[in-house]
Structure 1
Amino acid sequence: MGFSFDISARDGRARTGVISTPRGEIRTPAFMPVGTAATVKAMMPESVRETGADILLGNTYHLMLRPTAERIADLGGLHRFMNWDRPILTDSGGFQVMSLASLRKLTEEGVQFSSHIDGSRHMLTPERSMEIQRLLGSDIVMAFDECPALPADRAAIDASMQLSMRWAQRSRDAFGDRPGHALFGIQQGGLEPDLRARSAEALRAIGFDGYAIGGLAVGEGQEAMFGVLEYAPGQLPEDKPRYLMGVGKPDDIVGAVQRGVDMFDCVLPSRSGRTGQGWTARGPVNLRNARHRDDPRPLEEGCPCPACRNYSRAYLHHVIKSDEIIGAMLLTWHNLAYYQRLMQGLRDAISAGRLELFAARFHEDRAQGDIGLI
């Protein structure tokens, strides 16, 4: 079986369907938990799957530095290495090079940089990124691009977009013919509609298995991001998956799904779990707050995750304030489970033609805020 995308229902601009890969199906709209260094922090892979996740994201930059892609390949590939037998998407490493590495030097060839771990020097090019992702064995490979931080002036965004499109062609050439594996191109262009259109045109001419909307969630704010999403998804092929990279908060996801996006990833649910924040239908809850120390109720009534099924807010408050590892484990499980329930709710609503009602109720519930004191 190869890689394919089938849309089963639409509601406005929103779509629900299935991405099929040799390692399993990905129900869309889909949220991908982030397993940066071959692990979703504080979670066992089987626990991540139990939350409802169909696919994980791995990180080229981190894995190339430690333990190295070559070592992972020698040990049987990333799936075996991290004990995850379902699909994995790997990003290209470009964003992390720009945001984490030091002493960067950007040229037409690629980016030379110093590791944030030990200062060692490395060169990442479209060809090397494709090689690393091949060694990892990822099912969905991302083209190598540059992601400029916003705000930036138009000339800089234009030059960066054009460089990314040249790198997209080199990524396509280096990827070659790999049946069962997919390559996604990444649209750039900042907040400029015409630059986004030119980027989409270049990507369509090259031809990819899926298309990402890059260069957002980098400081521009939700209003500006939604402004781009009013037109950017429609500039990309209708019959291919559309992936909004690095997004996001639950209300970001709902708004993006309404505007035609199919795939998401974000560190927020797992990072929040390690800092004492739980995500619920009524919004985020800070379990470090003293108001929870005597509360026998679950974090979220009706949630089947272990944190809500077996423990009280008082216990979660205690272990988080005490810096016990179980606090991060339980809250991360809950947050990932909440995100996957949200995605299932969106898929069901689209299938039933009731997305606008679902979104209205979603916002009404969040507007209530957390439950009151007992």
Structure 2
Amino acid sequence: MPHPLGVGRQVSESVAQLELGEHQVGHAEIVEIPDWTRCPFSSKNHDRSSSTQNRGIVDPLDSVLRTTNSANAGYELLSGTDGWSVRGPAPRGATRVALVDRGEVTVTAQALPGLTLVAGQILFAGAGPEYLIEGSPGAVLHSLSLEVEALSAEPVLRALPQVLKLDETANLASSLSAVIRLIAAETDRPEPGGAVITARLADVVYVSTVRAAASCFADGTWLALLHDDRLARAVRAAHDDLARPWTVAELARCAGMSRSAFAAAFRSVSGQGPLEHLTWWRIHRAKHLLRSTDLDLTGIGGRVGFSSGTALSRAFRRHTGVSPMHWRKDPGA
């Protein structure tokens, strides 16, 4: 029978004629979430007419997503004439992107109100406590689970609400429906190289959804800085040159603002002061270097803006509760 997923104009006529089988699902392990946010994502939220605005939004997020890779992508078509349900928990770092194709789907978690999605809406769920997804009779949900490496994804998953509901008005729904359909085709009719294709397409789904989620302004987090052109210029400059001993006055000049106005705006938008944010980002980058290189603390400290290995060690312990060398031996500490 024809696959129920509607496809955007991006898919060719031949792909649009693919026929995929359905299967009914009982219980499976999926990603969980701690709270709910509804994002009215539409074209009016993305009027980035100037190249300066685009640079301010894309560059810092690119620096995170460039090192974030998904693995073990799994596709499920959840459907059933009598309704269906799936529950978690899922491994740490797992993410779920699900598109409602037909009917109504509800998501509930302990001590949280239910979240309802209808056809055309997208669910983005990060890691969190146990939750339950239930489909009404006849509901169809296209669900993609992704294991995202925890350290690389930390800046995004820390900033975004654990659940984002993207509206049916989103251009994203049309685009993702096309990509998810291709994943469904690879899953339904396995061929040599299919796992590689699925992995690449899963990355497209993840990055596209995160980009849309970031456009919900992520109030009170560093992602919100990317939606203010002046503040974004300062964030981009600092992230691109961590070794530089930045001051608030220098960052304010990058933003074209007075020191006091810049500091106040930065904290109002993100919930952090400029140097507080910069220290957090330096510690995050230090973790990458501890894991991926054999550099000593002095070498790592110099790369991320600390005057010495001792200064790095003090800041690292203050932020993580353990020393850098202890973390290098046991990143899960």
Check whether TM > 0.5: no
TM-score interval, smaller chain: under 0.3
TM-score between both structures, scaled by the size of structure 2: 0.28
TM-score between both structures, scaled by the size of structure 1: 0.25
